[in-house]
Structure 1
Amino acid sequence: MYLPDAGAPNLLGALALLVGSRMRAAVTGPAGAGGALAEALVVLKDQPGVTAEWLRQVLGLTQPGAAHLVRRLGEHGWVERRPGADARSRALHLTPEGVAAAQDVLRARETALAEVLAPLSDEQRDNLADVARTLLRHEVTDRRSLAYLCRLCDRARCPACPVHEGLRDGGS
């Protein structure tokens, strides 16, 4: 078993907090609120037609929380409900305004992450990307965990997604 040096876990934890807070702050502006509203826009952009239940599970919300989120998305004019796979379900689709809002969220996220990466050399960025690929590919267990891990990703910028590869390869 590998035991990292004493500082590595603390550094990773601090880095995770830095990146998380910068992303949350960045996406709050375009979405008008942080957290689930911005995440829902991106999830629905990349997975049109999912149900509120799927969205609830991917975002880790309670059933009332998901209902409130879908209601807020509708109030902004960002989502429309269409008939789902069965008579009881409703498929969620972004409106053109919702797609534009999702793009705004992704642009803000990218700007914030670029600022975090700015002090690194090209070689350091490549090394960081290699480490991230290795760690992420082993975390996915099913389609829901894939959607969870990539809920704020700009999937167009990551054509060879290591998280998706991990799902396809069984997390190896």
Structure 2
Amino acid sequence: MNLPPDASPNLLGALALLVGSRMRSSVSASVGAGGALAEALVVLKDQPGVTAEWLGQVLGLTQPGVAHLVRRLREQGWVERRPGADARSRALHLTTEGTAAAARILHARQEALTALLAPLTSEQRRHLEDIARTLLHDEVTDDRSLAHLCRLCDRARCPRCPVHAGFCELTGD
């Protein structure tokens, strides 16, 4: 391959597409649904009790889009609505089946990403982790952008989350 002197942006773009494609494929296969449905399950696992409006903002959906998403989640038996913080709001919570589906999604995602990393040495993996931490650290501007960026993350696997650390520095927490 004949690459220009600094091919890193182009290679990063190709890598992002590869990673995204593998994650989408594995997530979809794990629960028979991908995209916003899968993302919503993981978000609701980590943020139970949010409103449909908040979920829609995190996932980048319009009001009709999030209404359709919540209806589909309820039809699958993955989400239930409960009384919210005030008389007009409804809080979204995963059902037992929804919690199990979220666990399958995270497991499938972990397997797909682990397989992608298999050719790397331990040292290369440490370098990749350092690079990812550096690139992710300053990408969050508010709590919704934090939830958006980490919408498919298995938070238990990243106790020193650089995205959350950047958010805490930004907000002074």
Give distance in 2, aligned partners of 1:44 and 1:65: 17
Q: Deviations over 1:70-103 (max 9, x none)?
A: 0111011111100011111100000111000000
| Post-superposition offset of 1:31 | 2.8
Question: What code does the residue aligned with 1:11 have?
Answer: L
Aligned ranges for residues 52-91 of structure 1 at < 5 Å? 52-91=52-91
Which letter maps to 1:42? V
Cα distance, 1:30 vs. partner?
Answer: 2.3
* Regions of 4+ moved over 4 Å: none
TM-score normalised by L of structure 1: 0.95
Structure 1 unaligned segments of length 5 or more: list them. Answer: none
Q: Deviations over 1:146-167 (max 9, x none)?
A: 0001000000111111100000
The one-letter amino acid paired with 1:35 is G
Structure 2: state its 5+ residue gaps.
none
Using the TM superposition, give the Cα deviation of residue 118 of structure 1 relative to its aligned residue in structure 2, in angstroms: 0.6
Structure 2 equivalent of residue 154 of structure 1: 154
SS of the residue 1:169 aligns to:
helix
Distance 2:144 2:166 in 1: 13
Q: Let me know the Cα RMSD of the aligned residues.
A: 1.3
**Partner secondary structure for residue 170 of structure 1:** helix
Task: Write the mapping of 1:26-37 to structure 2, written as runs, cut at 5 A.
Answer: 26-37=26-37
Verify the 8 A CA contact 1:44 1:92 in the aligned structure 2.
Answer: yes
The reply on whether 1:118 has 2:127 as its aligned counterpart is no
What is the deviation of 1:129? 0.4
In 2, the alpha carbon distance for the partners of 1:32 and 1:43 equals 18
CA contact (8 A) 1:31 1:37 kept: no
Alpha-carbon shift at residue 29 of structure 1 (Å):
1.6
Instruction: Determine the C-alpha separation between the residues in 1 that align with 2:134 and 2:142.
Output: 17
Cα deviation 1:26-73 (Å, max 9, x = unaligned)? 100223221100000000000000010011000011111101110111
Give, in whole Å, the separation in 1 of the partners of 2:141 and 2:62.
Answer: 21
Which residue of structure 2 aligns with residue 94 of structure 1?
A: 94
Match of 1:9 in 2: 9
Given residue 49 of structure 2, which amino acid in structure 1 is its aligned partner?
G
TM-score by length of 2: 0.94
Size of the aligned set, in residue pairs, is 168
